[in-house]
Structure 1
């Protein structure tokens, strides 16, 4: 394929802006961002042809984000007089929309550089300005030099090593695409860890297909340290044996294609493991398909595992409350959907012109119809309402994207919290290392997979201060349900400190106490030890050996991707109890959690190894392994029911 055709199809990259300057459209230009490292396997080739069509997208800086904590504390802190008085979607748009000056100054600069007005447009949400351009014109606009980059998979893009913006425009701009970023596409999702064995632990056999198997003692608590079931989780965390369908309550699970649930697998799981809270045959989630909503026809744990796991437990623990499945993306593997594509669908003002916020990594629609299962429609912006609780079991290395990209996505979770939505993410399954066990070299690039050296590599979005990060715990080997849990040991649970986000006020006391009483033993060359960084996870729940329906049988899964939907189920049940007495949902829960550590069972054993170290240790009080500890449903419910 000719490079010009690839460029027209991809329109790739992103830029970062952060400082405010004054002046007029002829102001001098300053280097805005420079790339010193090429992540992944990209190889720089020849200079890009100046005539190559290129679409520049300029993401404008949102207003009032410096007041994020003030706004969030007002609706979420338990001592706030306005607790629970959540914002409307329009209030959020009005508060954070870019200013008229941002639009005017940016357009004036473009016009002064010779860009004609008919080639400039901006999105309905006012966040994005689009310029139909060429590589040559972009080089002039940005004082940049574009080259062709290619990776071993044959993907091709154009990018530059640095670029500049006028001093009077820089303060109004958040992102520009395409510019300096290069990264692997496939490192977007993290799947749960599958137990690599053909049979279950001693005393528990792998079950044959549903139709031929009598129901075992699904309510048994004798084997919970080796096999986790809904009954085990109810006993561990004092979760009620049965939920209730409450008008206005809702719970959403997010999955990204090709991960796809299978109804027959759910039926089999429910028939065996929901004796105490029987889920009827063919009970399905509410299906909200986004940008294709592709459900792969393939089987196996690699495709079915994550989605089946999440839905088996989200539905079993909350039934008869409905659970919504946000199924995101289509079958096009080279351009997979991301969290931003999901966020577009529940907030139309967040969308750029082609969906997503960055065409380097976010899927750009429509896709070519020649690929079976490709989504050929336009990106779906604001087509669904957000459920009251959202659990996501996917993440990526915090440093794999530029700070501007991370900040923009993180701010969207802030907005959801302001509107009364609880968002939680799995903390990760590779300890203090990142995806596939990769750590960070001194130059900012990544170590080889599962390397035993390098700087700690925190996971995002768990490191965002506006989500609840859920880590992994486990019963001790051979333990019983009334034993105190330890940090997960089938895998090292994700945790640590952000390299991008500051310590939020709700966490200040807990982190200060952690450092006052415990010395992690590492210097600044190993992790962000400033004591001013967001720490994660916030809580931890059992994350090992979840029995899950797969291909007409069962498999055991371990990972924090099991912990997050379980905690989401608990918060959904609490929302139902509040709605019954005329109160609203709990929204962003972290300020309440940190104000009430007594509702947690502290976890003080275990660690989260990685990067050639033992990682951090679980200690008394909050720690970057298991957070505040394991929640008790009844205690947590009592706290939330007492709030306005």
Structure 2
């Protein structure tokens, strides 16, 4: 629709709650009202007119048995599906006008499905029947201005998916279990000789059993000897990173350090010395070279180390910053997935990476349901354009901490991590050792309570549930989307940080590793005139199963339980298993 279409008056009365919390989310404390002149940068997600049709098309182009497989959509086509109906714009414009908002001050996304405006907090409170307060997190010192409840006129519930910032308390965290060398998990058993045999009979240095380098991963997952051919044909890999602010309002160092990258290449990938990652600032994201970050260094050193000379892009997006700004403090940034996705979806088709990895997330229950569903839909839009999106599955086993519900009942339940639970994302769990490879204790897995089990998991997941029987009944939702989908090594990664080698562990290591394998598969396909793989999950759970090494050992304790066990077939600690590049290249190379 034309944004300037005539507005329809919407009554402020007859409001109904859109979302609310029964109490202040765990870890946050009310520290008072925001200043009277505080301005909120409001984002409103409008109902997308053709979203269901987009999902239908996405399933067709991602089904390896469908005639439309691989026919990814263009940016323009995705935006046409996302565009709201004219009636939605008319209703929302009427509501804004009724609340004294100058329509000319509203900014729209390219698909016109998001609108943004700066509004005084008093106006927002009236519009949303809300009461905004300043909340501070006890362990980090982060401050956010939020409300515990907001409402919309009933008529607008059919036109607005969510309003932000409202009830979203951002606690996005990097998925990193530890990065201390002396915390490395010990290898079990005694192994003779200087090499061990991998699952395909390949020789792998014995040191890889506890100390992981690019060469170890190349040998284990059989990418050794493959030379990327499509670096000049558009193949790319992207890493999403966020800078956060902690206690004392100091930035947590999640920045890529170029000197560390060159030192890493010198030690572990000499032929790549002189190559660099391209850092892209999203909405003012920084990359301070005086603040090298373990997470950022890990991500780019291993994506570069495994995919060289494939172009690598690191997207630096601000995380949550202090609420009250001053001359030395950056402006507040709200939940960054929205900022990052909004930016990525504007990229021209020839600039969009075909594989992404992200090592961040949080307990699914801490995200408002409507918010999680809308953001998951944005990942679907990205997938429809031919990008494969990988996320770490989490580092809490079946759940860290008390594992209590936040709905006021304080029941104990297992805690899967979002966004990994989004069906349009490939969740990556973690393994360790190579003789044999095992699921590592922190590898988070389980079942979503927000998203139902997709059809492509219909064959893989029920056998696992059958083996589980009544064990943990009531602690998880067996009909939910199951995670992780796959796994990769996640412990003992040698990373250069501030010039020194540290040993890093977590699904933070697994996701960039698996994403790098996907980037190499895309390289092979693109070099041979085929499209990128795009949304992976329907492919992985069908013809892809035989391209994975099934992991049969390990469990992921949490919530006062031993957690789930690795077992034959899909399991909720290692998914389908770990990749065999040679087999996957044969399976995926010609479809």
Query: Shorter chain as normaliser: what TM range?
Result: 0.7 to 0.9
How far off is 1:621 after superposition?
Answer: 0.8
Contact 1:253/1:310, CA 8 A, preserved across alignment: yes
State how far apart, in whole Å, the 2-side matches of 1:243 and 1:305 are: 28
Taking the TM superposition and a 5 Å limit, the aligned residue runs for 1:59-208 are 59-67=45-53, 69-111=55-97, 113=98, 115=100, 117=102, 121-125=106-110, 126-129=112-115, 134-146=120-132, 149=135, 159-179=146-166, 181=167, 183=169, 185=170, 187-191=172-176, 193-197=178-182
Contact 1:220/1:231, CA 8 A, preserved across alignment: no
In structure 2, relative to structure 1, the CA distance for the partners of 1:140 and 1:473 (3 Å cut) is closer
Q: Which residue of 2 aligns with 1:25?
A: 10
Match of 1:583 among 530, 537, 541: 530
Taking the TM superposition and a 5 Å limit, the aligned residue runs for 1:154-303 are 159-179=146-166, 181=167, 183=169, 185=170, 187-191=172-176, 193-197=178-182, 221-246=205-230, 247-257=233-243, 258-274=253-269, 278-298=270-290, 303=292
State how far apart, in whole Å, the 2-side matches of 1:292 and 1:159 are: 22
Q: Which residue of 1 aligns with 2:197?
A: none
- SS in structure 1 of the partner of residue 216 of structure 2: helix
- SS in structure 1 of the partner of residue 234 of structure 2: coil
State how far apart, in whole Å, the 2-side matches of 1:346 and 1:94 are: 17
In structure 2, relative to structure 1, the CA distance for the partners of 1:154 and 1:541 (3 Å cut) is closer
Match of 1:556 among 490, 493, 503: 503
Q: How many residues align?
A: 545
In structure 2, relative to structure 1, the CA distance for the partners of 1:405 and 1:288 (3 Å cut) is same
- SS in structure 1 of the partner of residue 534 of structure 2: coil
How far off is 1:65 after superposition?
Answer: 3.0
State how far apart, in whole Å, the 2-side matches of 1:269 and 1:446 are: 49
State how far apart, in whole Å, the 2-side matches of 1:527 and 1:331 are: 30
How far off is 1:536 after superposition?
Answer: 0.5
State how far apart, in whole Å, the 1-side matches of 2:352 and 2:569 are: 33
How far off is 1:144 after superposition?
Answer: 4.2
Match of 1:319 among 308, 321, 343: 308
CA-atom RMSD in angstroms: 3.2
State how far apart, in whole Å, the 2-side matches of 1:50 and 1:280 are: 55
Taking the TM superposition and a 5 Å limit, the aligned residue runs for 1:299-378 are 303-329=292-318, 335=332, 338-348=336-346
Match of 2:428 among 470, 490, 494: 470
How far off is 1:607 after superposition?
Answer: 0.8
How far off is 1:254 after superposition?
Answer: 2.1
Match of 1:537 among 478, 484, 508: 484
Could you list the per-position Cα deviations for residues 69-90 of structure 1 after superposition, in whole angstroms to 9, with x for gaps in the alignment?
4222211111011000000001
Could you list the per-position Cα deviations for residues 475-516 of structure 1 after superposition, in whole angstroms to 9, with x for gaps in the alignment?
2xxxxx5x4421114xx1111111211211111221122223
Quick check: 1:408 aligned with 2:374? yes
State how far apart, in whole Å, the 1-side matches of 2:308 and 2:150 are: 53
Contact 2:19/2:368, CA 8 A, preserved across alignment: no
Q: Which residue of 2 aligns with 1:642?
A: 590
State how far apart, in whole Å, the 1-side matches of 2:177 and 2:183 are: 17
Q: Which residue of 1 aligns with 2:383?
A: 417
How far off is 1:279 after superposition?
Answer: 2.3
Q: Which residue of 1 aligns with 2:554?
A: 606
In structure 2, relative to structure 1, the CA distance for the partners of 1:565 and 1:145 (3 Å cut) is closer
Could you list the per-position Cα deviations for residues 537-582 of structure 1 after superposition, in whole angstroms to 9, with x for gaps in the alignment?
0011111111122333322111111111111111111111111221
State how far apart, in whole Å, the 1-side matches of 2:320 and 2:81 are: 37
Give 5+ residue unaligned stretches, structure 1. 1-22, 203-218, 349-380, 448-452, 476-480
Q: Which residue of 1 aligns with 2:564?
A: 616
Contact 1:438/1:446, CA 8 A, preserved across alignment: no
In structure 2, relative to structure 1, the CA distance for the partners of 1:253 and 1:243 (3 Å cut) is farther
- SS in structure 1 of the partner of residue 293 of structure 2: helix
State how far apart, in whole Å, the 2-side matches of 1:602 and 1:286 are: 35
State how far apart, in whole Å, the 1-side matches of 2:131 and 2:171 are: 27
How far off is 1:636 after superposition?
Answer: 0.6
Could you list the per-position Cα deviations for residues 321-371 of structure 1 after superposition, in whole angstroms to 9, with x for gaps in the alignment?
2222223338956645723222222123xxxxxxxxxxxxxxxxxxxxxxx
In structure 2, relative to structure 1, the CA distance for the partners of 1:576 and 1:555 (3 Å cut) is same
Tell which deviates more after alignment, 547-556 or 600-609: 547-556
Q: TM-score, normalised by structure 1?
A: 0.77
State how far apart, in whole Å, the 1-side matches of 2:534 and 2:280 are: 21
How far off is 1:41 after superposition?
Answer: 4.1
Contact 1:439/1:446, CA 8 A, preserved across alignment: no
Contact 2:176/2:505, CA 8 A, preserved across alignment: no
State how far apart, in whole Å, the 2-side matches of 1:580 and 1:508 are: 33
Contact 2:307/2:520, CA 8 A, preserved across alignment: yes
Match of 1:514 among 456, 464, 470: 464
- SS in structure 1 of the partner of residue 504 of structure 2: strand
Contact 1:422/1:467, CA 8 A, preserved across alignment: yes
Quick check: 1:486 aligned with 2:438? yes
Tell which deviates more after alignment, 583-592 or 553-562: 553-562
State how far apart, in whole Å, the 2-side matches of 1:384 and 1:578 are: 16
Tell which deviates more after alignment, 320-329 or 336-345: 336-345
Contact 2:143/2:322, CA 8 A, preserved across alignment: no
Taking the TM superposition and a 5 Å limit, the aligned residue runs for 1:30-45 are 30-44=16-30
Contact 2:489/2:510, CA 8 A, preserved across alignment: yes
Match of 1:627 among 555, 575, 578: 575
Q: Which residue of 2 aligns with 1:17?
A: none
Contact 1:242/1:317, CA 8 A, preserved across alignment: no
State how far apart, in whole Å, the 2-side matches of 1:150 and 1:305 are: 25
In structure 2, relative to structure 1, the CA distance for the partners of 1:520 and 1:426 (3 Å cut) is farther
In structure 2, relative to structure 1, the CA distance for the partners of 1:142 and 1:309 (3 Å cut) is closer
Contact 1:397/1:457, CA 8 A, preserved across alignment: yes
Q: Which residue of 1 aligns with 2:392?
A: 426
Contact 2:142/2:320, CA 8 A, preserved across alignment: no
In structure 2, relative to structure 1, the CA distance for the partners of 1:390 and 1:442 (3 Å cut) is closer
In structure 2, relative to structure 1, the CA distance for the partners of 1:319 and 1:187 (3 Å cut) is closer
In structure 2, relative to structure 1, the CA distance for the partners of 1:290 and 1:442 (3 Å cut) is closer
Give 5+ residue unaligned stretches, structure 2. 1-7, 188-202, 244-252, 324-331
How far off is 1:456 after superposition?
Answer: 1.5
Match of 1:457 among 415, 420, 429: 415
Q: TM-score, normalised by structure 2?
A: 0.83
State how far apart, in whole Å, the 2-side matches of 1:305 and 1:155 are: 20
State how far apart, in whole Å, the 1-side matches of 2:320 and 2:480 are: 38
Q: Which residue of 1 aligns with 2:4?
A: none
State how far apart, in whole Å, the 1-side matches of 2:62 and 2:393 are: 22
